[in-house]
A and B are shown apart, each in its own frame.
Chain A
Amino acid sequence: MSGTFVGMPAFQRAAHEAVRNETLRGNLRHATHTIRAKRAHAVAEVSDWAELREAGKRIKDHTLRHLDRYLVRVEEAVTAAGGVVHWAADADEANRIVAELVKATGESEVVKVKSMATQEIGLNEALEAEGIHAYETDLAELIVQLGKDRPSHILVPAIHRNRGEIRDIFRSEMSEWGRPAPEGLSDSPAELAEAARLHLREKFLRAKVGISGANFVVAETGTLVVVESEGNGRMCLTLPETLISVVGIEKIVPTWRDLEVFLQTLPRSSTAERMNPYTSTWTGTTDSDGPKNFHLVLLDNGRTDTLADEVGRQALRCIRCSACLNVCPVYERAGGHAYGSVYPGPIGAILSPQLRGTQSEIDASLPYASSLCGACYEVCPVAIDIPEVLVHLRERVAQGGTVTREGTKVVLRPAKGHAAERAAMRAARWAFSHPGALRTGQRLASRTRRFHPRTLPGPGRAWSGSRDLPPVPAEPFRDWWQRTNGGKDGVK
Chain B
Amino acid sequence: MSSRDVILGRVRRALADVTPDETPYELALPRDYEREHGGRSVAQTVELLAENLADYRALVHRCATVPELSALIAGLLAGRGARSVLVPPGLDEAWLADTGADVTRVPDGAESTAAELDRVDSVLTGCAVAIAETGTLVLDGSPDQGRRRITLIPDHHICVVRVPDQVVGAVPQAMERLDPVRPLTWISGPSATSDIELDRVEGVHGPRTLEVVLLGGADGS
Which residue numbers of A lie inside 8 Å of B, CB to CB? 27, 30-31, 34-35, 45-48, 51-52, 54-55, 58-59, 62, 65, 67-68, 71-72, 75, 81, 87-89, 93, 137-140, 143, 156, 158-159, 162-163, 166, 189-190, 192-193, 196-197, 200-201, 204-205, 218, 221, 223, 229-232, 234-235, 237-239, 249, 254-257, 259-261, 263-264, 267, 271, 273-283, 286, 288-290, 298, 300, 304-305, 307-308, 310, 313, 404, 407
Is B171 within 8 A of A264, CB to CB? Answer: yes
In this complex, how many residues of chain B approach chain A with their Cβ under 8 Å: the count is: 75
For residue B101, CB closer than 8 A to chain A, the reply is: no
Q: Apart from A278-B187, A307-B11, what are 16 other A-B pairs with CB-CB below 8 Å?
A: A46-B37, A55-B31, A67-B11, A68-B11, A139-B193, A139-B195, A156-B195, A156-B198, A193-B201, A223-B180, A230-B206, A234-B149, A275-B135, A281-B183, A290-B149, A407-B6
Which residue numbers of B lie inside 8 Å of A, CB to CB? 2-4, 6-15, 17-18, 21, 25, 28-34, 37-38, 52, 56, 110, 113-115, 118, 131, 133-136, 141, 147-149, 152, 170-172, 174-176, 180-199, 201, 203-207
| CA–CA, A72 and B7, complex, Å | 11
Is A277 within 8 A of B206, CB to CB? Answer: yes
Is B175 within 8 A of A27, CB to CB? Answer: no
Chain B residues within an 8 Å CB radius of A298: 7
Is A300 within 8 A of B7, CB to CB? Answer: yes
Chain A residues within an 8 Å CB radius of B25: 62, 254-255
Closest 7 CB pairs of A and B: A231-B206, A231-B205, A308-B14, A304-B10, A279-B186, A288-B110, A275-B134
* Known contacts A89-B3, A275-B188, A282-B183; A189 and B152 CB within 8 A of each other: no
| CA–CA, A13 and B8, complex, Å | 39
B141's nearest neighbour on chain A, judged by CB, is A289
Between-chain CB contacts (< 8 Å), 10 pairs? A51-B34, A65-B18, A143-B195, A234-B149, A238-B152, A257-B172, A273-B188, A274-B188, A280-B186, A289-B141
Chain B residues within an 8 Å CB radius of A234: 148-149, 152, 185, 205-206
Contact partner, B181, options A67, A81, A140, A230, Cβ 8 Å? A81
* Known contacts A62-B28, A238-B148, A239-B149; A271 and B204 CB within 8 A of each other: no
Contact partner, B197, options A67, A162, A310, Cβ 8 Å? A162
Q: B48 to nearest A CB, angstroms?
A: 11
Is B37 within 8 A of A230, CB to CB? Answer: no
Q: A248 to nearest B CB, angstroms?
A: 11
Q: B155 to nearest A CB, angstroms?
A: 10
A409's nearest neighbour on chain B, judged by CB, is B13
B140's nearest neighbour on chain A, judged by CB, is A281
